[in-house]
Structure 1
């Protein structure tokens, strides 16, 4: 069994490990596709993830320092959360059988033994590669639901990586007018293909959004880049009383975020969106399972197209190249998928 592991900041390798035994209620899955996240995963690759220096206290729901061992330490093994594969064998009573196409979260590894309740079948007619996007698609959908968009409203979406482009597709399908923001020309072009009305370079974007909206500003902004400067600019783009959904994974201190300016004077509502839960007002109707099901159903119906976002399908042996490309050449790589069928 081969597994991807980080041995230190910007140090990644493909290691060999003995396969896990199959136990009661478990399924052995042979990985076909494993998508690399250019957001959360790169924080572990670069060494900026807060779990590397702090401990998350689940009872208090606080990060604490000087509380013993950090929540994450090198080597980080099997990072990843966008997998699709084929059942190789299954224990009695799991309901799975060899050959079933499934998706789930088991990390960048050639095979995994997974509790049956953690696996889901790929919907009929859906490309398994599309199913590997289930988790990132749920992140985008959660942010769009948190935005509480209405027909005819204007939303600015900052960051047109994979999740941003999926959010752009969803917001457009919801009847909103999307103004996409990204510093890379290639991604702005992708945003227009995804249905954005305009795609803007970040400098001066708040003024241009107000010009576009007759001086009012956007109704809502969704920030997905994880940049504090972008979050500050998202706050500047919305109208008085507007909403900003902060859905990026922000690292270190908030340099460039000045809350005494537009945030304070325009009484902007700032909402956090994170895949660990849904907005409180939706919790009676939505959960993570529904986010996943809805995203995959929309993909199967052709309403969303995640596969078109794949720019590189690389064999696992080239994993170091894959992370290096995402880290240093985001203009050349959008979604990189480790294709275990190639080896």
Structure 2
């Protein structure tokens, strides 16, 4: 089989490797599509503090089960599944209180152990979820980033009277938009400086006056002009730049909640006075915590369409070009899928 391996920072190759055999409790997947995430780019550039090298990357993928290990029913062979990349110990404090996504011995598929950028990969059977009938494989490959969006909205809660603001119309921001608009039915603004991304936001459910190009409009007057002068009650930072969190604290409505995604190591200068004066609440969110069934239910009920953010499908052998497109051309690309082809 062929796998995409990051040998060390800035060194990536498509290389032949033996087809793996599933261990007890595992299934083997013939990968169909795998999505490129910002964290994959970070591993390639040596900017992910959790990755060990060499590593087969990729944590957003869909495929068909073609073999099972001991203890897994043969009936699962042939099942099309998506994979939750979170593997936890089940014993530490975080796991015991239901927060296994921040397990003290957390293993993330594609980060701590080999992932889905490979023709075949083995994963725990309990991490593989059946794809809803009728959902095309490209859309199924985007269930994992939808689970990330579902996790942060679960953390913050969403009230029917909320007015939300999303920073960043990338894959996570756009998925958040669908969740807020289509699942919860609230007003949600979304910002970006790329018009093409904001056009995608319109396709994901944003009204014309809910998209804000921050290269042309400052955020506070833009919100005031749109009837939200008191500030958003719910803010999500899907960009993860220190200045955004500082701005979010400043513009949030009293009693507002702020959700933070990403792993920026750069500190933010947040005045405690502002947090306390408005009694704001900050929610951090990492990966997802058991949100795959929720997202699959939303898809089955027609509430969300994961395929809307997919802009490109490229042969996995062209991964270097795909990475270049993802990094250099945000106006042309949003979610790029690597195509591993149909099983022989």
* Paired residue secondary structure (2:253): strand
* Paired residue secondary structure (1:175): coil
**Alpha-carbon distance in 2 for matches of 1:273, 1:114:** 24
Residue deviations 1:50-96, cap 9 Å, x none? Answer: 23xxxxxxxxxxxxxxxxxxxx3333x12111111112223465224
Match of 1:139 among 128, 143, 148: 148
1:246 shift after superposition: 0.9
Q: Which residue of 1 aligns with 2:13?
A: 13
20-29 vs 160-169, which deviates more?
A: 20-29
Q: Which residue of 1 aligns with 2:203?
A: 193
1:262 shift after superposition: 4.6
Q: Is there any run of 5+ residues in structure 1 with no aligned partner, and where?
A: 52-71, 278-287
Distance 1:92 1:204, change over 3 A: same
Report if aligned partners of 1:315, 1:342 keep a CA contact under 8 Å in 2: no
Report if aligned partners of 2:168, 2:191 keep a CA contact under 8 Å in 1: yes
Q: Is there any run of 5+ residues in structure 2 with no aligned partner, and where?
A: 86-114
**Alpha-carbon distance in 2 for matches of 1:262, 1:159:** 23
The answer as to 2:74 corresponding to 1:99 is: no
1:133 shift after superposition: 1.9
Report if aligned partners of 1:221, 1:234 keep a CA contact under 8 Å in 2: yes
Counterparts of residues 320-339 of structure 1 (less than 5 Å) = 320-339=320-339
Residue deviations 1:180-202, cap 9 Å, x none? Answer: 11121111121122222311123
1:241 shift after superposition: 2.6
Report if aligned partners of 2:23, 2:70 keep a CA contact under 8 Å in 1: no
The answer as to 2:52 corresponding to 1:73 is: yes
Distance 1:116 1:241, change over 3 A: closer
**Alpha-carbon distance in 2 for matches of 1:10, 1:300:** 40
For these two proteins, the number of residue pairs brought into alignment is 307
* Paired residue secondary structure (2:122): strand
Q: Which residue of 1 aligns with 2:265?
A: 252
* Paired residue secondary structure (1:15): strand
Distance 1:110 1:214, change over 3 A: closer
Match of 1:88 among 66, 79, 83: 66
Q: Which residue of 1 aligns with 2:136?
A: 127
Instruction: Compute the TM-score of the two structures, normalised by the length of structure 2.
Output: 0.82
Report if aligned partners of 2:3, 2:117 keep a CA contact under 8 Å in 1: yes
Instruction: Compute the TM-score of the two structures, normalised by the length of structure 1.
Output: 0.82
Q: Which residue of 1 aligns with 2:31?
A: 31
Distance 1:169 1:115, change over 3 A: closer
Task: Say what the alpha-carbon RMSD is for the aligned residues.
Answer: 2.3
* Paired residue secondary structure (1:296): helix
Report if aligned partners of 1:217, 1:237 keep a CA contact under 8 Å in 2: yes
**Alpha-carbon distance in 2 for matches of 1:25, 1:148:** 34
